[in-house]
Amino acid sequence: MALSTSSCFILFILLLVRLITVSRSRQAPSILPSNGVRLYLTYQDRIISDYSMIYAGQFYDTDENNDDNDTTDALWCQSANTGTNIGVWYYPNGTEVPLFDGPFDDLTSPRPVYSKRFNGQIALARRDGLSGYEGLYKCIIPDQNGVNQTLVVGAYTDTGYNNNEGPDADLTMQFSLLSTSRLATPPVFSLSFNVSDGPPTNVYCSVNGNGISTELSRVIVNGSGSVTRVTVTVRLREAGNYQCTLSNIRVADGNNGRIGNVQALSSTTSLSLSVSDTPTGLTATRLSTGLAHVRLSWSTVSGATGYEVYYQLSSNTPVSVSNTSSTTNNIISSLFQGSIYTFYVVSYRSASLPSGNASAMLTISNPVVNDFMATLITSTSITLTWSPPTDVVPISYNINRRCRRVCDSSFTSNSTTSVSSTHTSTGIPPYTQCGFDLIGVYGAEIAYLTTNYLATTLQTGR
């Protein structure tokens, strides 16, 4: 059956429409990142920064700009991981953007936006207006190592974008000390604040007007406000005014940030931080209450709310032993005789950086008496004297005595407690050799200060 001229014309028109439709929406971008993840805005053929700001007229579910590659002008979340079925897009309220298996620009696709997966990438495609759906959209996609990464974009209606005045940051930042030890040099701390009314694409921080190096973290606070929690990690010990300035692409778009009658500006948040003064006059002395008990003392630091005390054995990691408001601290455990220790003290205040450290070294050697001697000997007694050990003076002294007659093999022993120098040991038979041990008493511990010092009583009548 032959077709009429009109029928042929209609068929031609239908085929042409179909061809145009297919040509406008059939392709995903052919180039993926060689490393990591990224956001690709096809309509502008531009890789955009994380936390960038775009408007509805910049992404579609068709090949709107009719490029040679027939690439669909969606917003693409791409990865160096070329696996299939990867990536998820989320609405500003935290719910998942629906995934659509049909072709782009299908009339049955979800509205106003939907996601569609291809190898190594997932599209955020817009089918309808964004009114009521503006805010921060989040893509989570694994990188080439299989580790999930998060990318964020602020998507707005054209009007919402044009009327945006730039991101709004909290006026004051919140300080938090992150160092596991106040002894860390330099200390590690964070400054946190919320940002609304647009994504914080760029964050620049300074102290006293000088730029500083930071580690940036941005996390969406889900909800209609599309708030971002920004945290910058700083490694520094410097007092002064810390400032962070926030901006996004809207701040630089148009004529230096002006679109129509709306001027977009950067936003600044700040916080003044102080550094506590370093303690002075730190001394470490041994206590008589134990063989390895140490007292630390130092001068008061004005304005300090507390002090943290550490000890360090050799090159081991310093150990915190106390947080105190006092300027003295007794360490009565964990230390050992025969070791060299370095002690540290830092001061701190609330919402401030800890001070530098004061340090002192101490050798915990075994106490010894080298001048234990007999100064007077009779036929029945031996008088002994000694000087206190220089390392640490005991609470008291004990003396052990073992004696035997010079012509006899049997021994007698005697123990005397709480003696002092000078001490006379009595009741010894004539011509008897005695061995003496001088013992220092240190609380519940004892130390043999001198052992087996020998002395012999005189014979009878001499």
Pairing state of beta strands 339-348 and 328-331? unpaired
Superfamily of domain 283-364: Immunoglobulins (2.60.40.10)
Domains 283-364 and 373-456 share a fold: yes
Taking alpha carbons only, the member of 286, 397, 279 closest to residue 344 is: 279
Q: What is the pLDDT along the chain (462 residues), one digit of tens a residue?
A: 454 555 444 444 444 444 444 444 458 999 999 999 999 999 999 999 999 999 999 999 999 988 878 899 999 999 999 999 999 999 999 999 999 999 998 899 999 999 999 999 999 999 999 999 999 999 999 999 999 999 999 999 999 999 999 999 999 999 999 999 999 999 999 999 999 999 999 999 999 999 999 999 999 986 656 899 999 999 999 999 999 999 999 988 989 899 999 999 999 999 999 999 999 999 999 999 999 999 999 999 999 999 999 999 988 999 999 999 999 999 999 999 999 999 999 999 987 899 999 999 999 999 999 999 999 999 999 999 999 998 999 999 999 999 998 888 777 888 888 899 999 999 999 999 999 999 999 999 999 999 999 999 999 755
The dihedral region occupied by 223, where left means phi > 0, alpha psi between -120 and 50, and beta the remainder, is left
CB crowding 17-43: b at 16 or more within 10 Å, else e: eeeeeeebbbbbbeebbeeebbbbbbb
Provide the 10 A C-beta neighbour count for residue 379.
15
DSSP assignments along 238-262, one per residue:
--EEEEEEEE-HHHHSTBTTEETTE
Evaluate if pTM is beyond 0.85.
no
Fold designation for 373-456: Immunoglobulin-like (2.60.40)
Looking at residue 225, what is its pLDDT?
Answer: 63
Pairing state of beta strands 214-221 and 227-235? antiparallel
Q: What is the CATH number of domain 22-162?
A: 2.60.40.10
3-state secondary structure of 8: helix
Taking alpha carbons only, the member of 218, 289, 213, 278 closest to residue 248 is: 218
Q: Where are the domains of the chain?
A: 22-162, 168-273, 283-364, 373-456
Q: Where are the beta strands (DSSP E) in 236-325?
A: 240-247, 258-259, 262-263, 267-273, 283-286, 294-297, 306-313, 319-324
* Burial of 61 from C-beta contacts in 10 A (0-12 / 13-18 / 19+): buried
Provide the 10 A C-beta neighbour count for residue 461.
6
Pairing state of beta strands 52-55 and 148-156? parallel
Asked whether 242 and 213 are in contact (CB, 8 A), the reply is: no
Residue keyed to tokens 């996609």: 141
Q: What is the CATH number of domain 168-273?
A: 2.60.40.10
Which segments of 246-340 does DSSP mark as H helices, in order? 249-252
